[in-house]
């Protein structure tokens, strides 16, 4: 059982359920509830701020104006470190509050832990009781001895949890995960509804600190993740934890285009319990000895890739704030191409492309890529679902009237289909034209012969008298061929193929 937040000191473990994605998803992280610690002690526990270049990255960007959706168990926006951070929310489970700010599911505190690591503002130190001069002597001495706070001017103050992107805006989407939903809305319905809502409400980054034991996902998820891809949204998901029963990453980490995060221990090595391995892992980040905020203003030590994921999502928000015109594919490429290689050279199933380096991701010169280096759900759908991807949806204004274009759109000429074999019409046309051509040529030849014979007859009458012995005079009157056959006479003439007359 999980201990209540109001009973400090008790321990509880938040385990990822090893269940099929079609039945339930689980949040991935182990927590150790702790009393409301002193603010400076909480901040001092955040070793990753220096070790992973986050404080240096703040000199370039703090995530100003970027909306990040946290699809989780709900986020307590009243936590001191989240004051002003949550700008919108919803519930897709049917069992939470309408604004997504009430913790629900098997681990209701999970979403607040994630949100503080991602975009916590911290808060100002509490003031001690002062004497009539405004400060007691002990406080004056402490102020003189205390070094300048590292995070002065960052967030809302130097106490509490400061997130990777302390000026980013959060959207909370509450989902019921890890146990049967009393409202009856299945996880197959909740996840796509959550993703679509986040996209429609302006999220440029989506954090999903949840996983399953199945590498596959329901087909109805395709459309939601495609919608996010088409609208240029970065999705970051947890790889899962071996300690929670996840030996290999499951959906949504396995969905093409999703940046999957593996976990590291405090020494920067692959975590044995707070991580899983998979060929889909993109980058590795701290997943052990983490500290985050709990609902009700408390704090907790915890571990798991649930905590590593918002650290990477925070870096994505820093990049999107600094380079607002940069595509989601370029953001992902910056994170993985600037990661410090670990394990075997190149990409591997434990560290992915390497260990997160926030400063380099913000400032390094990175080559432009033509596509998301961790894949495309659009291409996957075309290949594996045997269907064509629909074009990106466009939002039409209300009461829009469709009008005919003023100028007809150009069309591509289409060749006529070849006629089928056995169609006699073309043959009839060709033969008909052939017969007409032959007739014309034959008439021409006949007229030529007649003219020559007439000319020869006139010439013979002038030079020669008629004979009575029937001797051939060399001239034959122009009579038809059948008559010639009857008289036994013969004459050479054209063959009908265009040859000239021949003399005997």
Please identify every residue annotated as catalytic.
72, 110, 306
Q: How many CA atoms lie within 13 A of 67 on its CB side?
A: 18
Distance between CA atoms of residues 385 and 389, nearest Å: 10
- Residues 6+ away with beta carbon under 8 Å from 190: 92, 93, 175, 176, 181
Residue 330's φ and ψ, nearest 5 degrees, are -70, -35
289: buried, middle or exposed (CB in 10 Å: 19+, 13-18, 0-12)?
Answer: middle
Q: What's the per-residue H, E or C state across 17-28?
A: CCCCCCCCCEEC
**Short-list 102, 106, 273, 115, CA closest to 174:** 102
Quote the tokens at residue 33.
């509830």
Name the region of 255 (left: φ>0; alpha: ψ -120 to 50; beta: rest). Answer: beta
What is the distance between the alpha carbons of residues 354 and 343, in angstroms, rounded to a whole number? 8
Question: Tokens 């509050």 label which residue?
Answer: 97
Among candidates 285, 328, 331, 325, which has minimal Cα distance to 308? 285
Tokens (6 digits) for 229:
């891809």
The residue whose two tokens read 């809305």 is 185
DSSP summary character for residue 277: B
C-alpha 377: how far from chain center? 6
From its phi and psi, is residue 405 left (phi > 0), alpha (psi between -120 and 50) or beta? Answer: beta
What is the C-alpha end-to-end distance of the chain, expressed in Å?
127
What torsion, rounded to 10 degrees, do the Cα atoms 495, 496, 500, 503 define?
40
Instruction: Report CA 207 to chain centroid distance, whole Å.
Output: 15
CB-facing half-sphere around the CA of 133: CA atoms within 13 A: 6
**Helix residue ranges per DSSP H, 66-160:** 110-119, 137-145
User: Residue 303 and residue 264: Cα distance in Å, rounded?
Assistant: 10
Sign of CA dihedral 216, 222, 224, 228: positive
**Contact call for residues 57 and 285 (beta carbons, < 8 A):** no
- As to burial, measured by CB atoms within 10 angstroms (0-12 exposed, 13-18 middle, 19+ buried), residue 386 is exposed
Cα–Cα dist 300/294, whole Å:
7
């Amino acid at each position: 059982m999980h201990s209540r937040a109001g009973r400090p000191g008790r321990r509880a473990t938040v385990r990822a359920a090893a269940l099929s994605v079609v039945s339930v998803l689980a949040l991935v992280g182990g927590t150790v509830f702790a009393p409301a610690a002193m603010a400076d002690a909480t901040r001092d526990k955040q070793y990753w701020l220096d070790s992973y270049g986050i404080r240096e990255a703040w000199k370039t960007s703090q995530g100003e104006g970027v909306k990040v959706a946290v699809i989780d168990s709900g986020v307590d926006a009243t936590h001191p470190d989240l004051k002003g951070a949550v700008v919108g929310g919803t519930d897709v489970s049917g069992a939470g509050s309408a604004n997504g700010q009430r913790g629900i599911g098997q681990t209701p505190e999970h979403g607040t832990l994630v949100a503080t690591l991602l975009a916590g503002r911290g808060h100002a130190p509490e003031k001690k009781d002062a004497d009539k001069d405004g400060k007691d002597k002990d406080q004056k001495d402490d102020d003189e001895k205390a070094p300048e706070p590292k995070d002065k001017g960052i967030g809302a103050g130097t106490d509490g949890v400061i997130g990777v992107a302390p000026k980013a805006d959060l959207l909370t989407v509450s989902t019921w995960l890890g146990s049967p939903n009393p409202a009856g809305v299945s996880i197959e319905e909740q996840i796509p509804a959550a993703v679509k809502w986040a996209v429609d409400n302006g999220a440029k980054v989506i954090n999903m600190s949840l996983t399953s034991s199945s590498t596959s996902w329901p087909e109805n998820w395709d459309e939601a993740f495609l919608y996010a891809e088409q609208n240029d949204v970065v999705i970051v998901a947890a790889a899962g934890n071996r300690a929670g029963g996840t030996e290999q990453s499951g959906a949504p980490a396995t969905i093409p285009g999703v940046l999957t995060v593996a976990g590291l221990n405090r020494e920067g090595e692959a975590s044995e319990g707070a991580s899983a391995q998979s060929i889909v892992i993109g980058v590795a980040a701290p997943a052990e000895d983490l500290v985050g905020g709990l609902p009700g203003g408390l704090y907790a030590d915890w571990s798991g890739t649930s905590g590593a994921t918002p650290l990477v999502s925070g870096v994505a928000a820093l990049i999107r704030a600094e380079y607002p015109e940069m595509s989601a594919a370029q953001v992902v490429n910056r994170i993985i191409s600037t990661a410090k290689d670990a394990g075997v050279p190149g990409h591997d199933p434990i560290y992915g492309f390497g260990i997160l380096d926030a400063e380099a991701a913000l400032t390094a010169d990175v080559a432009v890529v033509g596509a998301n280096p961790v894949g495309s759900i659009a291409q996957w759908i075309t290949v594996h679902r045997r269907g064509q991807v629909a074009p990106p949806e466009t939002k039409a204004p209300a009461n829009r009237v469709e009008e005919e274009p003023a100028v007809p759109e150009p069309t591509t000429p289409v060749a006529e289909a070849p006629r089928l074999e056995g169609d006699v019409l073309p043959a009839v046309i060709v033969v008909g034209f052939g017969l007409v051509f032959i007739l014309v040529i034959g008439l021409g030849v006949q007229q030529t012969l007649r003219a020559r014979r007439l000319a020869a007859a006139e010439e013979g009458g002038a030079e020669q008298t008629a004979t009575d012995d029937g001797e051939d005079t060399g001239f034959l009157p122009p009579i038809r061929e059948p008559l010639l056959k009857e008289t036994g006479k013969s004459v050479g003439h054209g063959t009908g193929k265009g040859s000239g007359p021949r003399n005997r």
